[in-house]
Structure 1
Amino acid sequence: MISKEDFIHKDRMAKGISTGGDIKISVVKTTDVVKTARRKHDLSLLNTVLLGRALTATMLMASELKGEERIRMRVEGKGPVGLLVAEANRVGEIRGYVQHPEAELDYTNAQTGLGDGLGVGILTIRKTLYNEAEPRTSSIELVRGNITDDVAYYMVQSEQVPSAVLLDVGLDEQGRITEAGGVLVQRMPDAPEGRIEAMQEKMLQFDSISELLASGHYIDDIMEMVMEPGGVKELDRQPVDFFCRCSRKRFVNALAMLGPDDLKEMSDEGQELVCHFCNEEYQVSKSEIEELLMQTKAKMN
């Protein structure tokens, strides 16, 4: 049973605006989200940090969406990680995966950095919005490959919104996740020149987000620290979780969309289907595939 203290400090996102109305801020704690992602995908230390930051970033960016609108980050690089995908929606559901979860770097080389995990590559953001027939998509080249700097660059280049971003996944000496979270600060149109740059400089002087969380500071405290001395008005808060809406029924429905030739190839034996996002496995029996094949043929007659 979850204790009152754990409930109070569970993973959540809070959104606010400066009392002067010139700066927006979102702060999120994603410790359990990242722990769940690591457990489901058996992530290496490298991927724990990179995917953890990406999951945190997508949730922060989703704070600008409505209802069940969603945002997906796709990062494809030439490094050992390969492909990384993270997705979040406004109701606080986050999920993601990496192509090579076991990938690691040779840290005995002094020149090796976190960004080498992804290497040269492209970051693509896709937003699925209400009342728009097609998702909005925009891409940038990776600038550092550490996710934090890449997201900040994306916000300026593609969203054209001066922003300050902090993303952090803390690890102890045994490689265990301590805390994870992030901050996104965005300039409103009437903000004075240099305001966001000054805030970013101040944020860089803070302890890391994981250290702040580990020392007992919750998202409310972090929000107030970032927005001092002007103060902040909270607009919204919500729980966030690693959550995937995949189901066996959805996978069966997807198989039903295949042509008869594809289904016939599968009909000799059952199929084991695995969700990329959460690693859940679903078994579809031989008889079910045969039934789908019969239904597909009947529709064609």
Structure 2
Amino acid sequence: MFSKKQFKNKDRLIKGISNNEGLKISVVKMTDVVKTAKEKHNLSLLNTILLGRGMIGTMLMASELKGEERIKMRIEGDGPVGLLTAEANCVGEVRGYVQNPEVELDYSKDVSLGDGLGLGVLTFSKILYNEAKPKHSSIELVNGNITDDLAYYMVQSEQIPSAILLDVGIDQQGNVTQAGGLLIQRMPEAQEGIIDQIQEKMLEFESIDSLLANGYYIDDIMEMAMNPIEVKELDRQPVDFFCRCTRERFIHALSMLGFEDLQEISDEGQELVCHFCNERYNVTEDEIEELLVETKAKMN
């Protein structure tokens, strides 16, 4: 059971809009989400920060979507992390994984966070209503720290000047302290130069994880980030690490294999693993045999 204080400070996202200046803002707390990802994937400190930022950024982007629409971030780099993927929808479901979850940088050398991903490409895919195919757009990574890369993406691909902060706090024991982020976007009617002022302010703004650790919640952070501009709350919602994988979905995926492929694995059961949440599902020999029978029947 959650205490009243714990319930009040659960992971959530809040959206707001300025009264006159043509700005909109989303602020999210995702401490438990990042802790869950770290535990599920046995993430190194490097990957905890990078995947945490990736999921926070993707959740902020998803706050602009509707209903079951969703957005997927995919970063492919030549660094030791390899592939990083995060996915979210506007109802607060977010998940993600990295290709090499346990890798770490050699901090005895002159390295930065961006060396984990290295040189590469960031791609966003949006699954939208009334669109037959997902919409894809890509940029080259700016420096691989995800925060700067996402800010650059917003200008280059979305043509929306934005200010963004993505923060994951880690203590000396390697535990996640707090995690969250904010996204401020300029709307078409905004005054010229207003987003430049916000961006300058964000350079001096305290990290989101520090603010959360000091007892500020997403409401407070939204007001502080926009001050002295007045902001009105539009919506808020819970945020959770949530994966829709099921055993039935994996069996359905197996049923899409060809007869020969199924035959190759028919003499033993299969353990199938979901990349996003690391959940494991066992499929028995008998179940694979049933799929073989069904596949053969379709061939006749």
Shorter chain as denominator, the TM-score bin is: over 0.9
Q: What does 1:86-125 align with in structure 2 at a 5 Å threshold?
A: 86-109=86-109, 111-125=110-124
Alignment RMSD = 0.6
Alignment match, 2:205: 206
Alignment match, 2:151: 152
Which blocks of at least 5 consecutive residues in structure 2 are unaligned? none
Q: What does 1:56-205 align with in structure 2 at a 5 Å threshold?
A: 56-109=56-109, 111-205=110-204
Task: Establish whether residue 285 from structure 1 lines up as the match of residue 284 from structure 2.
Answer: yes
Alignment match, 2:223: 224
**TM-score of the superposed pair, with normalisation by structure 1:** 0.99
- Which amino acid in the other structure matches residue 270 of structure 2? Q
Alignment match, 2:34: 34
Query: What's the CA shift string for 1:146-197, capped at 9, x where partnerless?
Result: 0000000000000000000100000111111100000000001011121111
CA drift of 1:21 comes to: 5.0
Alignment match, 1:245: 244
- Which amino acid in the other structure matches residue 208 of structure 1? S
Q: For residues 194 and 291 of structure 1, what CA distance do their matches in structure 2 show?
A: 64
- Which amino acid in the other structure matches residue 163 of structure 2? A
Q: For residues 159 and 229 of structure 2, what CA distance do their matches in structure 1 show?
A: 25
Please state whether the residue corresponding to 1:145 is helix, strand or coil. coil
Q: For residues 298 and 68 of structure 1, what CA distance do their matches in structure 2 show?
A: 35
Report sequence identity in percent. 72
Please state whether the residue corresponding to 2:130 is helix, strand or coil. coil
- Which amino acid in the other structure matches residue 52 of structure 1? G
Query: What's the CA shift string for 1:208-262, capped at 9, x where partnerless?
Result: 1000000000000000001111210111100000000000000000101111000
Task: Establish whether residue 17 from structure 1 lines up as the match of residue 17 from structure 2.
Answer: yes
- Which amino acid in the other structure matches residue 39 of structure 1? E
Structure 1 runs (4+) greater than 4 angstroms displaced? none
Which blocks of at least 5 consecutive residues in structure 1 are unaligned? none
Please state whether the residue corresponding to 1:96 is helix, strand or coil. strand
Alignment match, 1:46: 46
- Judge conservation of contact 2:34–2:179 (CA < 8 Å) in 1: yes
Please state whether the residue corresponding to 1:2 is helix, strand or coil. coil
Q: For residues 204 and 211 of structure 1, what CA distance do their matches in structure 2 show?
A: 15
Q: For residues 229 and 116 of structure 2, what CA distance do their matches in structure 1 show?
A: 39
Please state whether the residue corresponding to 2:204 is helix, strand or coil. coil
Q: For residues 21 and 258 of structure 2, what CA distance do their matches in structure 1 show?
A: 55
Please state whether the residue corresponding to 1:192 is helix, strand or coil. coil
Q: For residues 115 and 55 of structure 2, what CA distance do their matches in structure 1 show?
A: 19
CA drift of 1:19 comes to: 1.0
Please state whether the residue corresponding to 1:254 is helix, strand or coil. helix
Please state whether the residue corresponding to 1:73 is helix, strand or coil. strand
- Judge conservation of contact 2:21–2:191 (CA < 8 Å) in 1: no
Query: What's the CA shift string for 1:109-144, capped at 9, x where partnerless?
Result: 1x2000000000000000000000000000000001
- Which amino acid in the other structure matches residue 232 of structure 2? K
Query: What's the CA shift string for 1:75-124, capped at 9, x where partnerless?
Result: 00000000000000011000000000011001111x20000000000000
Q: For residues 108 and 230 of structure 2, what CA distance do their matches in structure 1 show?
A: 45
CA drift of 1:37 comes to: 0.2
